[in-house]
Amino acid sequence: MSETIYDLIIIGGGPAGLTAGIYASREGMSALVLEKGMCGGQVAITGLVENYPGFPDGINGMELIKKFKAQAQRFGVKISELTQVKSLQPLDGKIKVETDKQKYLARTIIITAGALPKRLDIPGEKELTGKGVSYCATCDGPLFRNKDVAIVGGGNAALEEALFLAKFAKKVILIHRRNELRGAKILQDQLQKMKNVEFFLNYNLVSINGETCVDSIVAKEKQTGKQKTIKVQGVFIYIGFLPNSLALKGIIDLDNEGYVKTDEKMKTSMPGVYAAGDIRSKDIRQISTACGDGTIAALSVREYLKP
Protein backbone atom coordinates (compact mmCIF):
# COMPACT_ATOMS: atom_id res chain seq x y z
CA MET A 1 0.00 0.00 0.00
CA SER A 2 1.21 3.50 -0.81
CA GLU A 3 2.50 5.27 2.29
CA THR A 4 1.04 8.56 1.04
CA ILE A 5 -2.38 9.46 2.39
CA TYR A 6 -4.04 11.68 -0.19
CA ASP A 7 -6.56 14.32 0.75
CA LEU A 8 -8.49 13.29 -2.35
CA ILE A 9 -8.44 10.43 -4.83
CA ILE A 10 -10.45 10.97 -8.01
CA ILE A 11 -11.59 7.87 -9.86
CA GLY A 12 -11.83 8.81 -13.53
CA GLY A 13 -9.87 11.19 -15.74
CA GLY A 14 -12.55 12.81 -17.86
CA PRO A 15 -13.77 16.43 -17.69
CA ALA A 16 -15.43 15.98 -14.27
CA GLY A 17 -12.40 14.32 -12.72
CA LEU A 18 -9.81 16.70 -14.11
CA THR A 19 -11.91 19.73 -13.16
CA ALA A 20 -12.26 18.37 -9.62
CA GLY A 21 -8.51 17.89 -9.52
CA ILE A 22 -7.85 21.47 -10.63
CA TYR A 23 -10.13 22.91 -7.96
CA ALA A 24 -8.87 20.58 -5.23
CA SER A 25 -5.18 21.23 -5.90
CA ARG A 26 -5.73 24.99 -6.02
CA GLU A 27 -7.30 24.67 -2.58
CA GLY A 28 -4.08 23.09 -1.31
CA MET A 29 -5.28 19.49 -1.29
CA SER A 30 -3.10 16.59 -2.39
CA ALA A 31 -5.01 14.96 -5.27
CA LEU A 32 -4.50 11.80 -7.28
CA VAL A 33 -6.48 10.88 -10.42
CA LEU A 34 -6.82 7.18 -11.20
CA GLU A 35 -7.91 6.51 -14.80
CA LYS A 36 -8.50 2.99 -16.13
CA GLY A 37 -7.54 3.99 -19.67
CA MET A 38 -6.15 7.25 -20.94
CA CYS A 39 -7.60 10.52 -19.73
CA GLY A 40 -10.56 11.89 -21.62
CA GLY A 41 -13.39 9.38 -21.66
CA GLN A 42 -15.94 10.01 -24.41
CA VAL A 43 -14.55 13.47 -25.12
CA ALA A 44 -11.23 12.02 -26.29
CA ILE A 45 -12.94 10.22 -29.19
CA THR A 46 -15.01 13.23 -30.26
CA GLY A 47 -13.73 14.69 -33.50
CA LEU A 48 -14.96 18.23 -32.99
CA VAL A 49 -16.39 19.82 -29.84
CA GLU A 50 -18.35 22.97 -30.70
CA ASN A 51 -20.47 23.50 -27.59
CA TYR A 52 -17.80 23.92 -24.92
CA PRO A 53 -17.35 27.62 -24.04
CA GLY A 54 -14.13 29.39 -24.91
CA PHE A 55 -13.50 27.83 -28.32
CA PRO A 56 -15.53 29.80 -30.90
CA ASP A 57 -14.23 27.68 -33.78
CA GLY A 58 -14.60 24.39 -31.88
CA ILE A 59 -11.81 22.12 -30.73
CA ASN A 60 -10.80 18.51 -31.27
CA GLY A 61 -11.87 16.40 -28.27
CA MET A 62 -8.40 15.00 -27.65
CA GLU A 63 -6.88 18.47 -27.77
CA LEU A 64 -9.43 19.71 -25.25
CA ILE A 65 -8.58 16.90 -22.86
CA LYS A 66 -4.85 17.59 -23.26
CA LYS A 67 -5.54 21.13 -22.07
CA PHE A 68 -7.59 19.86 -19.11
CA LYS A 69 -4.82 17.44 -18.18
CA ALA A 70 -1.99 19.96 -18.54
CA GLN A 71 -3.85 22.46 -16.37
CA ALA A 72 -4.46 19.85 -13.66
CA GLN A 73 -0.82 18.80 -13.65
CA ARG A 74 0.34 22.41 -13.51
CA PHE A 75 -1.45 22.76 -10.19
CA GLY A 76 0.11 19.58 -8.84
CA VAL A 77 -2.50 16.89 -9.53
CA LYS A 78 -0.92 13.45 -9.88
CA ILE A 79 -2.40 11.31 -12.64
CA SER A 80 -2.08 7.54 -12.94
CA GLU A 81 -3.45 6.26 -16.25
CA LEU A 82 -4.08 2.60 -17.16
CA THR A 83 -5.04 1.99 -13.52
CA GLN A 84 -8.21 0.04 -12.85
CA VAL A 85 -9.95 0.60 -9.50
CA LYS A 86 -11.25 -2.65 -8.07
CA SER A 87 -12.80 -1.66 -4.73
CA LEU A 88 -13.34 1.01 -2.07
CA GLN A 89 -13.32 0.23 1.63
CA PRO A 90 -13.56 2.40 4.77
CA LEU A 91 -10.45 1.95 6.93
CA ASP A 92 -9.75 3.74 10.23
CA GLY A 93 -11.53 6.95 9.23
CA LYS A 94 -10.04 6.89 5.75
CA ILE A 95 -10.88 5.10 2.52
CA LYS A 96 -8.76 2.34 1.04
CA VAL A 97 -8.70 2.23 -2.74
CA GLU A 98 -7.55 -1.03 -4.27
CA THR A 99 -6.42 -1.01 -7.91
CA ASP A 100 -4.92 -3.59 -10.22
CA LYS A 101 -1.49 -2.09 -9.44
CA GLN A 102 -1.45 -1.14 -5.76
CA LYS A 103 -3.52 0.13 -2.83
CA TYR A 104 -3.97 3.75 -1.78
CA LEU A 105 -5.38 5.61 1.21
CA ALA A 106 -7.42 8.79 0.91
CA ARG A 107 -9.37 11.04 3.21
CA THR A 108 -11.99 11.58 0.51
CA ILE A 109 -13.01 10.17 -2.87
CA ILE A 110 -14.71 11.69 -5.91
CA ILE A 111 -16.04 9.11 -8.36
CA THR A 112 -16.01 10.40 -11.93
CA ALA A 113 -15.79 7.10 -13.81
CA GLY A 114 -18.37 8.11 -16.40
CA ALA A 115 -20.75 6.04 -18.48
CA LEU A 116 -20.39 4.35 -21.83
CA PRO A 117 -23.03 4.30 -24.56
CA LYS A 118 -24.21 0.83 -25.42
CA ARG A 119 -22.83 -0.32 -28.75
CA LEU A 120 -24.56 -2.15 -31.54
CA ASP A 121 -21.32 -4.05 -32.24
CA ILE A 122 -21.91 -4.07 -35.99
CA PRO A 123 -19.36 -3.68 -38.80
CA GLY A 124 -18.17 -0.09 -39.22
CA GLU A 125 -19.42 1.20 -35.87
CA LYS A 126 -16.10 1.17 -34.03
CA GLU A 127 -14.04 2.16 -37.06
CA LEU A 128 -16.21 5.19 -37.88
CA THR A 129 -16.86 6.47 -34.35
CA GLY A 130 -15.97 10.16 -34.42
CA LYS A 131 -16.08 10.02 -38.23
CA GLY A 132 -19.84 10.21 -38.61
CA VAL A 133 -20.86 7.75 -35.89
CA SER A 134 -21.91 9.59 -32.74
CA TYR A 135 -23.68 8.94 -29.47
CA CYS A 136 -24.57 12.56 -28.75
CA ALA A 137 -26.71 14.62 -31.13
CA THR A 138 -26.56 17.60 -28.78
CA CYS A 139 -22.76 17.52 -29.15
CA ASP A 140 -22.44 16.76 -32.85
CA GLY A 141 -25.78 17.49 -34.49
CA PRO A 142 -24.90 20.94 -35.89
CA LEU A 143 -22.00 19.36 -37.79
CA PHE A 144 -24.58 17.62 -39.99
CA ARG A 145 -26.46 20.68 -41.15
CA ASN A 146 -28.23 19.97 -44.48
CA LYS A 147 -27.02 16.36 -44.48
CA ASP A 148 -28.83 13.04 -44.21
CA VAL A 149 -28.49 11.24 -40.88
CA ALA A 150 -29.83 8.11 -39.18
CA ILE A 151 -30.84 7.62 -35.56
CA VAL A 152 -31.01 4.16 -34.03
CA GLY A 153 -33.38 3.67 -31.11
CA GLY A 154 -37.00 4.08 -30.09
CA GLY A 155 -36.98 5.46 -26.55
CA ASN A 156 -37.34 9.01 -25.30
CA ALA A 157 -33.67 9.83 -25.77
CA ALA A 158 -33.71 8.72 -29.41
CA LEU A 159 -36.91 10.64 -30.15
CA GLU A 160 -35.72 13.81 -28.41
CA GLU A 161 -32.46 13.72 -30.32
CA ALA A 162 -34.30 13.05 -33.59
CA LEU A 163 -36.33 16.21 -33.01
CA PHE A 164 -33.13 18.11 -32.29
CA LEU A 165 -31.38 16.77 -35.40
CA ALA A 166 -34.38 17.56 -37.60
CA LYS A 167 -33.60 21.25 -37.04
CA PHE A 168 -30.25 20.87 -38.81
CA ALA A 169 -30.36 17.82 -41.04
CA LYS A 170 -31.78 17.58 -44.52
CA LYS A 171 -33.32 14.22 -43.61
CA VAL A 172 -33.51 12.18 -40.38
CA ILE A 173 -34.04 8.44 -40.74
CA LEU A 174 -35.18 6.80 -37.51
CA ILE A 175 -34.45 3.07 -37.28
CA HIS A 176 -36.02 0.95 -34.55
CA ARG A 177 -35.98 -2.82 -34.14
CA ARG A 178 -39.59 -3.00 -32.94
CA ASN A 179 -42.75 -2.29 -34.93
CA GLU A 180 -43.64 0.62 -32.64
CA LEU A 181 -41.69 3.29 -30.82
CA ARG A 182 -41.29 3.17 -27.03
CA GLY A 183 -40.90 6.90 -26.41
CA ALA A 184 -43.56 9.29 -25.13
CA LYS A 185 -46.56 9.78 -27.42
CA ILE A 186 -46.08 13.55 -27.47
CA LEU A 187 -42.60 13.05 -28.91
CA GLN A 188 -43.90 10.57 -31.47
CA ASP A 189 -46.62 13.00 -32.52
CA GLN A 190 -44.10 15.81 -32.95
CA LEU A 191 -41.87 13.61 -35.10
CA GLN A 192 -44.77 12.46 -37.25
CA LYS A 193 -45.38 16.09 -38.17
CA MET A 194 -41.78 16.66 -39.26
CA LYS A 195 -41.54 16.53 -43.05
CA ASN A 196 -37.86 15.60 -43.02
CA VAL A 197 -38.21 12.58 -40.69
CA GLU A 198 -38.60 9.07 -42.13
CA PHE A 199 -39.32 5.94 -40.06
CA PHE A 200 -37.87 2.47 -40.53
CA LEU A 201 -39.73 0.42 -37.91
CA ASN A 202 -39.10 -3.30 -37.43
CA TYR A 203 -35.61 -2.86 -38.89
CA ASN A 204 -32.19 -3.67 -37.51
CA LEU A 205 -29.10 -1.71 -38.49
CA VAL A 206 -26.60 -4.32 -39.70
CA SER A 207 -23.65 -2.25 -40.93
CA ILE A 208 -22.24 1.25 -41.22
CA ASN A 209 -20.20 1.89 -44.33
CA GLY A 210 -17.47 4.30 -45.36
CA GLU A 211 -13.72 4.52 -45.81
CA THR A 212 -12.73 7.69 -43.96
CA CYS A 213 -16.24 8.78 -42.91
CA VAL A 214 -19.80 7.46 -42.96
CA ASP A 215 -21.37 7.36 -46.42
CA SER A 216 -24.14 4.76 -46.03
CA ILE A 217 -25.83 2.21 -43.78
CA VAL A 218 -27.49 -1.14 -44.34
CA ALA A 219 -30.79 -1.81 -42.55
CA LYS A 220 -32.48 -5.22 -42.48
CA GLU A 221 -36.23 -5.69 -42.24
CA LYS A 222 -36.88 -8.27 -39.53
CA GLN A 223 -39.93 -9.94 -41.08
CA THR A 224 -38.64 -10.44 -44.60
CA GLY A 225 -34.88 -10.33 -44.08
CA LYS A 226 -34.65 -7.88 -46.96
CA GLN A 227 -31.73 -5.45 -46.69
CA LYS A 228 -31.76 -1.84 -47.77
CA THR A 229 -28.74 0.41 -48.33
CA ILE A 230 -29.37 4.03 -47.35
CA LYS A 231 -27.09 6.96 -48.09
CA VAL A 232 -26.36 8.96 -44.93
CA GLN A 233 -23.45 11.03 -43.64
CA GLY A 234 -24.10 10.53 -39.93
CA VAL A 235 -25.34 7.81 -37.59
CA PHE A 236 -26.52 8.55 -34.03
CA ILE A 237 -26.95 5.55 -31.75
CA TYR A 238 -29.32 5.72 -28.77
CA ILE A 239 -29.84 2.28 -27.28
CA GLY A 240 -28.90 3.19 -23.72
CA PHE A 241 -25.86 3.81 -21.52
CA LEU A 242 -23.87 1.70 -19.07
CA PRO A 243 -22.46 3.56 -16.05
CA ASN A 244 -19.00 2.42 -14.98
CA SER A 245 -20.27 1.50 -11.52
CA LEU A 246 -19.87 -2.27 -11.30
CA ALA A 247 -17.16 -2.00 -8.61
CA LEU A 248 -19.47 0.23 -6.54
CA LYS A 249 -22.42 -2.16 -6.30
CA GLY A 250 -23.21 -2.90 -2.67
CA ILE A 251 -20.82 -0.18 -1.48
CA ILE A 252 -22.77 3.01 -2.21
CA ASP A 253 -26.37 3.64 -3.25
CA LEU A 254 -27.10 3.33 -6.98
CA ASP A 255 -30.32 3.95 -8.86
CA ASN A 256 -32.15 1.27 -10.85
CA GLU A 257 -29.92 1.82 -13.87
CA GLY A 258 -26.68 1.69 -11.91
CA TYR A 259 -25.96 5.42 -11.70
CA VAL A 260 -24.63 6.83 -8.42
CA LYS A 261 -27.15 8.66 -6.27
CA THR A 262 -25.96 12.02 -4.90
CA ASP A 263 -27.36 15.13 -3.30
CA GLU A 264 -26.87 18.63 -4.73
CA LYS A 265 -23.41 18.79 -3.12
CA MET A 266 -22.44 15.56 -4.93
CA LYS A 267 -22.40 13.54 -1.68
CA THR A 268 -23.04 9.80 -1.98
CA SER A 269 -24.33 7.45 0.70
CA MET A 270 -20.78 6.77 1.96
CA PRO A 271 -19.22 9.49 4.15
CA GLY A 272 -16.32 11.20 2.39
CA VAL A 273 -17.28 9.82 -1.01
CA TYR A 274 -18.67 12.08 -3.74
CA ALA A 275 -19.61 11.52 -7.38
CA ALA A 276 -19.60 13.83 -10.41
CA GLY A 277 -20.15 13.72 -14.14
CA ASP A 278 -21.85 11.10 -16.26
CA ILE A 279 -21.77 8.38 -13.58
CA ARG A 280 -24.08 10.46 -11.41
CA SER A 281 -27.85 9.92 -11.51
CA LYS A 282 -29.14 12.96 -13.44
CA ASP A 283 -30.88 14.01 -16.64
CA ILE A 284 -28.29 15.92 -18.66
CA ARG A 285 -24.79 14.68 -19.49
CA GLN A 286 -22.55 17.19 -21.27
CA ILE A 287 -18.93 18.31 -20.92
CA SER A 288 -20.02 21.56 -19.31
CA THR A 289 -22.30 19.84 -16.78
CA ALA A 290 -19.54 17.36 -15.93
CA CYS A 291 -17.20 20.27 -15.21
CA GLY A 292 -19.85 21.87 -13.03
CA ASP A 293 -20.32 18.64 -11.08
CA GLY A 294 -16.55 18.33 -10.62
CA THR A 295 -16.34 21.88 -9.32
CA ILE A 296 -19.12 21.33 -6.78
CA ALA A 297 -17.66 18.00 -5.65
CA ALA A 298 -14.19 19.45 -5.08
CA LEU A 299 -15.52 22.40 -3.09
CA SER A 300 -17.73 20.04 -1.07
CA VAL A 301 -14.63 17.99 -0.27
CA ARG A 302 -12.93 21.19 0.90
CA GLU A 303 -15.75 21.78 3.37
CA TYR A 304 -15.71 18.15 4.50
CA LEU A 305 -11.97 18.27 5.26
CA LYS A 306 -12.10 21.48 7.22
CA PRO A 307 -10.91 20.90 10.84
Helix, strand, coil shares, percent, the chain, to 5: 25, 30, 45
CA distance 295 to 22: 9
pLDDT band at 6 (very low <50, low <70, confident <90, very high): very high
Span 205-234, average pLDDT: 96
Span 266-294, average pLDDT: 95
Question: pLDDT of 193-206, one tens digit each?
Answer: 999 999 999 999 99
Do the beta carbons of residue 76 and residue 25 sit within 8 Å? yes
For residue 44, what pLDDT is reported? 82
- Which domains does the chain carry? 5-116+241-305 (3.50.50.60), 119-237 (3.50.50.60)
Using alpha carbons only, give the angle 149, 153, 157 rounded to the nearest 5 degrees.
Answer: 95
Do the beta carbons of residue 235 and residue 135 sit within 8 Å? no
Over the range 41-59, which residues count as b (16 or more CB within 10 Å of their CB) and which as e? bbbbebbbbeebeeeeeeb
CA distance 170 to 33: 43
Question: pLDDT of 22-78, one tens digit each?
Answer: 999 999 999 999 999 999 988 887 767 888 999 999 898 899 999 999 999 999 999
The catalytic residues are: 136, 139-140
For residue 160, what pLDDT is reported? 87
pLDDT band at 283 (very low <50, low <70, confident <90, very high): confident
Tell me the CA distances in angstroms from 18 to 13, 14, 67, 120, 227, one per residue in order: 6, 6, 10, 30, 45
For residue 53, what pLDDT is reported? 95
Using CB atoms within 10 Å of the CB of residue 29, give its burial: 0 to 12 exposed, 13 to 18 middle, 19+ buried: buried
For residue 41, what pLDDT is reported? 85
Do the beta carbons of residue 79 and residue 69 sit within 8 Å? yes
Span 301-305, average pLDDT: 97
Span 185-213, average pLDDT: 95
Using CB atoms within 10 Å of the CB of residue 100, give its burial: 0 to 12 exposed, 13 to 18 middle, 19+ buried: exposed
Question: pLDDT of 243-277, one tens digit each?
Answer: 999 889 899 999 999 999 999 999 999 999 999 99
For residue 43, what pLDDT is reported? 87
Question: β-pairing, 94-99 with 103-111?
Answer: antiparallel
180: how many CB neighbours lie within 10 A of its CB? 9
0.85 exceeded by pTM? no
Span 105-111, average pLDDT: 97
Span 130-154, average pLDDT: 91
CA distance 5 to 228: 59
- Torsion sign over Cα 51, 55, 60, 63: negative
